Every structure is written in structure tokens, then in C-alpha cells.
Structure 1
Amino acid sequence: MNTTPSSSASESPMPEQDGKLMDALLASRRRWKSLAQLVADFIFETDTEGNFTFFEAGPALGWNDQELIGEPGRRLLPFINSTPTPDPFLTHSVIRSRRCWIKRVDGSFGCMLIYAMPLQSPTGQHAGVRGLGIDVSAEVSANADLAVSRLHSEIVRRITATMRSRALSRLGIPPAFDELAALLGACGGILISERPEGKADNDEEDFEDEIVHHLSSGNQDFDSQIEKLLRQMDGSVSFEPVIKQIDGHDVIFCRSRVRYNAPAAMALWRNNLGVWSQDDANLADAALATFASALEMSALNRALARNARFDPLTGMLNRDGLIAEITRRLPRLDRERLSGTLLVIGLDRFSEINTRFGFEAGDSALQQVASYLRDAIRPTDLAGRLGGDIFGLWLDGADHFVAAERAEAFCQHGAAIFLSEAVTLTFSVGLAARNWETGESVESLIDRASFAMRSVKLAGGARWHTSLEESSP
């Protein structure tokens, strides 16, 4: 009987076949690694416990390839216990393009797009995870900067719209300031317009209120402390916004130049420390620039209004300004049952001054007469230039007897002025007294006093005359 030897090939693979299979597996991993490295910033494999069995990273993370072998993947994740999404190093499902913050070797975090696939054993059991990550930190940062920029633009747009919704931009500052504080989460704030050097506390001419707006935080002592620090900034502090930590609060201080008014200064604060960013400070500074523009416009409007009421040559009230100021005082005089008297003063033969000395000398003469008349009345009285060489004096609370004494003194002494030589000017004075019971208007007073003054001029001047006629209420 012929017999054929049994083969043992079906019982176990030859060692040569084992080597070929291992070579194929290693080649497959090398090909996977090479392909993954073309697009990925790190590649990894983990075991069933989520510990790294393979890890290789580029400069984006900075880890040494062997440093993390055997370490749990959660070591690279921030706040893993509070993260609602699955751990990418322990996942049992495929992950595609999920953003995840991965810890760098220096302790900072980079944003990675994670692609991961769970591995299975020959028996179908979970055997770990294989995946890769792509660094998108620059893109996320750029998008964040863009988002911040858009937010800032929207906030500035909203506060500008709030200010423009008011008839006067100055009136729009308080609601716009409150809106800014709410959008930034500030618990308190203050905006002031610094008092210019040399301005007394009681000098309000052409100057905005120091405290433009105050958003109370409920802590009066702290609010007062911040206000004091804000006033101490002055010109010694730069105009760049700064963040300071004071008594458990983060405080932004910023100042803005205002060309036609004192600089504006602002502070905003939050509870706790380290809550403001430089972006917040820059936004507050941009908002302050908008507020400062409104304050500047308000200062310009006040200056224009003031110039509209004053005579540019003499600095006295002009006709409209004098009428407006006397009109403002009349209700008080009526309540107190007091009289008031208007003196209209004309310079005698003033045209001779212009003819003899020239028009510049004539202007100088008017300025000297204006100074003389201002010095001759009480601080509570008013002096104005009605036009040309005609002046008006309002004696507040004086009856025609008191005014007559003043007019007599003017006519007796005249006004000594100095041009190329000394000259004495004489006055023609018309008086019109107002009784509180009549309710007479200022225009009527000017008409009566002017008529009385012209009658004196026609008679030769250097005298005074009282208009006894009073208009009915």
C-alpha cells in the first residue's frame, strides 16, 4: 500500500508566514502614519482604558513622542469632568471634525479638529481608539478677534444711535453710558469732564458740569474712591486706557482729549479681579471718544450761544443778550415787588472821534467807554451795547430816583479816554423805570429810554431825561 505523508501546514503557519504578516502590519501602519502626517498635527492610538499606546505630535503641541506613552488621554483635555461631549480618546463611536481643546506642553491649549475611530478586537470588543488632530487655533483666534471686533462695532453703533435719538447729543450720554455698562457687565461707572486749570469752583461760564453721569454700584464709599482717583489722573496720566485692581474690583480708567473743552475721563468697574480684558478697555476707550465728541459739540454750542449774546468789540451783552437777561430777571422782581430802571446812554459827537483820530481809535474809544460803564455799576446790574455808540445799563431793583442820581453823575463827569491824546466824552442819557405792577416788557423800556435819550441829544447832549410814560400791562 502506498501511503502519502500527512502535511502539517494545515495545523499551524510557518514562521516565515508570521514574519510576512507582521511586516505587512508594520508597513500598513507606516503608510497610515505617513498619510496622516500630511494633514495632521498629531496622531495617536489608545488602549481600552484610554491610555496612549502610540503618540506623535508636531510643533503645534510640543510633546515628546514617547513622553505620553502609557499616560491617560484625559491628561491633555481641559475640564474633562465637566465636558458634556465624549472623551475623544475613549470614544466608542466615530468622531469627525469635532473641535476640542488640547493641552500643549507649555500648559496652554490649542484648538484641534479631532478625527477618531474606535478599534475592535478580532472578537468585536472595544480595543481602543485611533485618530488624529488638526490645529485650527489660528483660525479660531482670528474668528474670535473678528467676533470681538463685530461686537465692539455693534456696541459703539448702539450707543451712538442712543445718543443721536436725543435732540441734543449731550442729553444722550447718560442712557448711552448705561447701555455700555450693561453690555460690558459693569456694576458701576462714572464719566466726568475735568475742570480746566485756573477755573474756580463757582465759575461755570463755558464749562460743562464736572460729573456728566454717575452709575452707582450701590457701594458709596467705593464709588467716591474711584471718583477721587479719576480726578487725580489729570495730565500726568497718559490717554491710553488702563486696567487697575482696586479693593476686589477690576477698574478701567480712560481719558480722551476734547479740543474745545476740558478732557473727559471715565471709569467702569466690575466685581472680582481679572475679569476685564484689554479688548474691554479698548472698547471703553472707543465709547469715551464718542462721549467726548458729544461734550465737545456741547461746548461749541455753548460758545456759539455765548457769542450770539455778546458784542465782539466790547465784550458786553449785545442788544439781544441784554433783552434776554433782563427778561429772565423780571419774574423775580415782580415776585419781590421791586422796580428796575433802564438807562440808554448815547455818546455825544462820537462821529468826531472817528473823523479826527480814525476808525481804530473809535473802536478803542468804545472799548474804554464800555470798561468805564461796567465799573460804574454794581455786580448785580447789567451793561450792554445796543448798537453803534449806544449803550444800555440795567439797574436791578432800582427806581427812577436812584437811576437819576447815577445818570446825573454820568452827565457831570463824562468819560475820560486816552487815544493819541486825552479826550473826555459826554453822555446823553435816557431813563425808563419799570414798576412791577405794570408788567412792562423790556422792548417797551428800551423804546421809552431811547426816545428820552434822543430828545436829550437834540437839545445838545450832556444831560439826562426820564421817560415818565409807562405802558400798561
Structure 2
Amino acid sequence: MIDGAGRIIAANRLFSLSATVLAEALGRLEGAAGGLCPAVMAPVDQVSRWYDLQVVPLAEGGRRLVFATDRTVETHMRNALIESRARFKDIVAISSDYSWETGADGSFTAISPKGLAGRGADQLIGSHPALLLDADKPAPAVLPFAAPAPLDGVELWLRHVDGRSLCFEVAAVPLYDQRGHWVGARGICRDVTEDRRQRATLAAQRNAERLFARITTVFHSQANPDDTLKMAASACTHGFGANGCLILATTTPLVKGVTKVILEAAASFGAVGTEAEINTVVARLMAEPTVASPRLLGTGSWSVLAAPTVYAGNLMGAVLLWRDVERPAWVDQDSRLLQNVAGQLAVAIQQRSDYHVLLDVSRTDPLTGLLNRRAFYEEVCRRFNRLTRSGQTAALVYADLDNFKLVNDVHGHERGDVALHHMADILRGNTRSVDLVARLGGDEFAVWLDNADRTVAVNRAKVFLAAAKPLIRYSGSPQKPLKVSFGIAVYDSSLNEDINEFISRADRAMYSVKRAGNGNFGLPATPRRR
């Protein structure tokens, strides 16, 4: 209680305001409605405390009754809340994340000032989040904007106003009212587009490294260059995500003086275009054969990524990757990787070319160009084994020049070589492409007549004999003319003979003819069936 001068007359034990503070507060009460003075700060025991003062006039001598309510705790809590909200508001405003809130109808009710996906906050309030989704990207089964339960790390693709696709990582919590009814959701979005792009780039680089390592391993693991290219075509198909791969090799390398390059298929894997589509792509690629960079060449329903393969400055071939136009388009990373792969393939194609040259040399008689003994018997063994399974027939004809030694002795080896060339032309010119003709060595020759029975073999021997008559002009002596003796063996599955026995029959038949006077053909007596 205070008197008319503001002096404290009486107070309970909890009243702790000093007369000075009380006087200042009473001064603020002048003209205040209801005699209420809120938020009066007073130091109490060196601690600031806050009071609400209410003054009630008394009828006795101008005295007044002062009620002081301690509001320190409430004031501190209110100030802390205000500060916290201000801090949170500043954090939200400067954060790189996007905060939002949706209502019971699913539309935005609150969003951070900078908006979302290129749209301002004022544009988004009241709109539905589904309108922001990128229709070309997969969406989660439950959108975070309508989360029925807490969600974290959900990937969401939104379409920016400028048309770009943006990837956001979203965390959200549901909002429920006091009755437990869902009334919306609240969450934050973090733009991870650049992170996803970097991840995709890194993944593509790793895939490129794996593919390149795979192809390099193929080159080192395959002894046969043809197998190397086949494995490389398979690796490229899978590594590039293509439908198929076609590797072409030149039959006429692009070097000085060569104006037209011919490409042939060296290896293929998966689904590729038709012959007409391949020719179209190759023609467009060869329009600029010296351009080493990969090119995108569409044809029909195919999108083809093509690159020439160049070795030591020479065009060795090309690699064509085929992808259905409905599948994802080729990207720059594919082109860069294919250019590196094409360099490796160029080396492999060159090795394949060298390999076939060596193979031809090792399988060919250098004088006549016919198969040599080793190559002939290797192929005959394969065909003989096939006969035992298929039940088809074939004939083996052995030929030996009679009195050939005298040709060399009298006319010299050069004349003898001419005679051997002539004999090779006789056999080569009177056989089919499916038949085999070989010079076994010296003046011995052999012919495999595919799918030939006894009648066909005999008729062919007669043709050989007639064609060999001009050989007489190479004779070393009229008394010993140059002729040819032929021995024939016809395959018979009922004899159950092996390849050596079959060859021996032809050999015996030939020597029987030579002993009988040569210049003829003969068949051995039919052996007894086993």
C-alpha cells in the first residue's frame, strides 16, 4: 500500500519493488486505462525481473493498493520464442533447402520465401504439388507432400519453369489434428540435381573404364583374332547398352593410291540392321573416311553410332553400334568411349589381317596356290567326321604325274614347275567351289569331291584325264610321256572304316593304275564289310 506521495506504507513479504522503481511505474500509470502497467522491469537481487502492476485507489487519504504479478518466467519464455522464431526464419531464408507445408486438401499452405522449382512462394501457395512433377521421370508411390508417415531421403523429380528437370531429396512428416485426423504435411526439399549429375557422370566414367578394361582383356585373352573381334562385339553391345554391334574390316585398306574402300563383316553380335540398312550406314560413313570421330547415323528404326577404325593412319574398318530409336539416345560419353574403343579395334583388325595372311601362307602351296598337305588333311578329317554323322557320301581322288622326274632332268626344274602349274589349273578348273584341291608334295595331288558317289567320281576322273592330255608336251622323252594316274576311293558308311583306311584305299588304287601302265584311273576292289 502506498500513500498519496507514492511512499510504501505496507507490503507483504513477497513484494520486492523498490520505491524508485515503483515511482517510475506509477508515473507510467498516469492516464493508463484500468490502472494497469504491464511489463515493469525491476532488478531484484541483481537479477532483472518483470512484473505486471495494477493500482487500485482507496477512499482513505489518497492511498492506493498496488498489486504486482511476477511475469518473469512468462516474459523470458515469450522472448525466447520470439528469438527462436526469428532465428528459424533467418535460417529458412538463407538455407539452400526449401521448406514447405501442405494442408488437408494437399495444396501448399506455406513455403520458404524463395519458392520452389523457379516459382515464387506467392505462385505456389494454394497450388497442388503434383503440378510440379516431371512427367518424364519416375515418381514415388506416395508423394512426400501427402506423407501419411515420416519420410526421409525420398528422391523426387520436379520440372523447372524453364523446362529443366530438377532432382530433390525430400524429408517430410505428417500433420494430425487433436482428433488424429490427417491435416497435411510439412517438410524440406534439397536440390541434389548437380549431385545426381556428378554421380551419373562418375558412373558413366566407371562403366567406360570397365568396358575398356573388358575389351582390353579380350584382346589379351584370345589367341585367334577372329574370336577377339567376336568377343569385342559382344562386350561393346552389353557395355554400350546397344541392341547389337557390327565390326567391319577392309579388304582394301585406305592407303595412297586406293580410291575405293570395300568393307566386309568381321564380327557381329546381337540385332543389327538389314543388309540394305548396313550398306546405307557404311556409305554415309565412307563419305568422309578420314574423319576419325564417331558419328550418329540414323536409318529406319535404328539409331547407329559409328566410328572408323584407324591404325597407323590407315583405315582398317569400322564399328557400328545399333540401338532402337525408341530407346534412350546416344550421349557424348558414348561417343568419347567409342573413339577409344575404335582405336583398340583397329589394332585387332590389323592383327586379324596379318593372321589371315600367315594362315593362307601356312595352308597354301607356294608354287601352285593350292592347299598344302597339312591344310588338306585337316579339312578332309573334318569333312570325313561329318560324313559319319550325316550319312552323306564323298570321294577322294589321288593323282600322281607319271614320268615327271624325267621332265626336270631333261628340261630343268623351271619347266617342271610350269607342268605342275598346268596340272593345278586342270584340277582347279574342273572342280566345284565346295570341293578341295591340294598339292601334297612333289608331283602328287589330291581332290576331295564333296557329296559325290561312285558315278560322279568316275565321270570326274574321266574329265581330269581328258584335260590332262596336253601335259604330254612337257615330256622328257617320247618313250616316257608325261601322264597322270588317278586313284579313287568312294566313301561307304557300311564299311566302318576310319580316315586312314579311307585314304589308303585311294592311294592303293592310284599305285595299281601306275603298275598297270599309268595314264588312267582306277578304283580299289570293294573291301569286305565289317
What TM-score comes out, normalization by structure 1 length? 0.56
Structure 2 counterpart of 1:432, which letter? S
Query: What is the CA deviation profile of residues 136-159 of structure 1, one whole-angstrom value per residue up to 9, with x for unaligned ones?
Result: 323322333444556677788999
- Pick aligned residue for 1:380 from 430, 441, 444: 430
Q: How does 1:396-411 map to 2 (within 5 A)?
A: 397-398=461-462, 402=466, 405-411=469-475
Determine helix, strand or coil for the equivalent of 2:114: strand
Structure 1 counterpart of 2:487, which letter? R
The 1-side partners of 2:156 and 2:198 are apart by 17
- Pick aligned residue for 2:287 from 221, 236, 260: 236
Instruction: Name the % identity.
Output: 17
- Residue 486 of structure 2 is aligned to residue 433 of structure 1: yes
Query: What is the CA deviation profile of residues 406-436 of structure 1, one whole-angstrom value per residue up to 9, with x for unaligned ones?
Result: 442111699xxxxxxxxxxxx9957433145
Structure 1 counterpart of 2:99, which letter? F
Match in the other structure for 1:84: 141
Structure number with higher relative contact order (C-alpha < 8 Å, ≥ 6 residues apart): 1
Distance 1:314 1:446, change over 3 A: farther
Match in the other structure for 2:359: 305
Match in the other structure for 2:401: 343
The 1-side partners of 2:425 and 2:298 are apart by 55
Deviation at 1:307, TM superposition (A): 1.5
Whether the 8 Å CA contact 2:439–2:446 is kept in 1: the answer is no
Distance 1:435 1:399, change over 3 A: farther
Whether the 8 Å CA contact 2:302–2:324 is kept in 1: the answer is yes
Whether the 8 Å CA contact 1:46–1:129 is kept in 2: the answer is yes
Query: What is the CA deviation profile of residues 243-289 of structure 1, one whole-angstrom value per residue up to 9, with x for unaligned ones?
Result: 45555x352243553879963554534263x6333279558889999
The 1-side partners of 2:443 and 2:209 are apart by 55
Whether the 8 Å CA contact 2:486–2:509 is kept in 1: the answer is no
The 2-side partners of 1:326 and 1:196 are apart by 28
Q: How does 1:261-280 map to 2 (within 5 A)?
A: 263-266=317-320, 268-270=322-324, 272=326, 275-278=328-331
Q: Which has the larger radius of gyration?
A: 2
Query: What is the CA deviation profile of residues 74-102 of structure 1, one whole-angstrom value per residue up to 9, with x for unaligned ones?
Result: 254435996423344x6576554443334
- Pick aligned residue for 2:162 from 106, 112, 129: 106
Determine helix, strand or coil for the equivalent of 1:106: coil
Distance 1:279 1:446, change over 3 A: farther
Determine helix, strand or coil for the equivalent of 1:44: strand
Structure 2 unaligned segments of length 5 or more: list them. 5-28, 40-51, 54-71, 254-261, 448-459, 492-501
Query: What is the CA deviation profile of residues 82-124 of structure 1, one whole-angstrom value per residue up to 9, with x for unaligned ones?
Result: 6423344x65765544433344453323333334567899999
The 2-side partners of 1:401 and 1:267 are apart by 54
Distance 1:142 1:154, change over 3 A: same
The 1-side partners of 2:203 and 2:127 are apart by 35
Match in the other structure for 1:50: 108
- Residue 36 of structure 2 is aligned to residue 8 of structure 1: yes
Distance 1:413 1:30, change over 3 A: farther
Structure 2 counterpart of 1:379, which letter? G
The 1-side partners of 2:295 and 2:470 are apart by 61
Match in the other structure for 2:12: none
The 2-side partners of 1:264 and 1:25 are apart by 72
Determine helix, strand or coil for the equivalent of 2:157: strand
The 2-side partners of 1:210 and 1:184 are apart by 20
Whether the 8 Å CA contact 2:398–2:445 is kept in 1: the answer is no
Determine helix, strand or coil for the equivalent of 2:169: strand
Q: How many residues are treated as equivalent by the alignment?
A: 415
Determine helix, strand or coil for the equivalent of 2:430: coil
The 2-side partners of 1:197 and 1:126 are apart by 76
Query: What is the CA deviation profile of residues 52-74 of structure 1, one whole-angstrom value per residue up to 9, with x for unaligned ones?
Result: 454237xxx78486664646372
The 1-side partners of 2:181 and 2:207 are apart by 49
Whether the 8 Å CA contact 2:505–2:524 is kept in 1: the answer is no
Q: How does 1:119-134 map to 2 (within 5 A)?
A: 132-134=188-190
Match in the other structure for 2:258: none
Deviation at 1:339, TM superposition (A): 6.8
Whether the 8 Å CA contact 1:194–1:231 is kept in 2: the answer is no
Match in the other structure for 1:254: 306
Deviation at 1:343, TM superposition (A): 1.5
Match in the other structure for 2:196: 140
Distance 1:375 1:70, change over 3 A: closer
Match in the other structure for 2:96: 41
What TM-score comes out, normalization by structure 2 length? 0.51
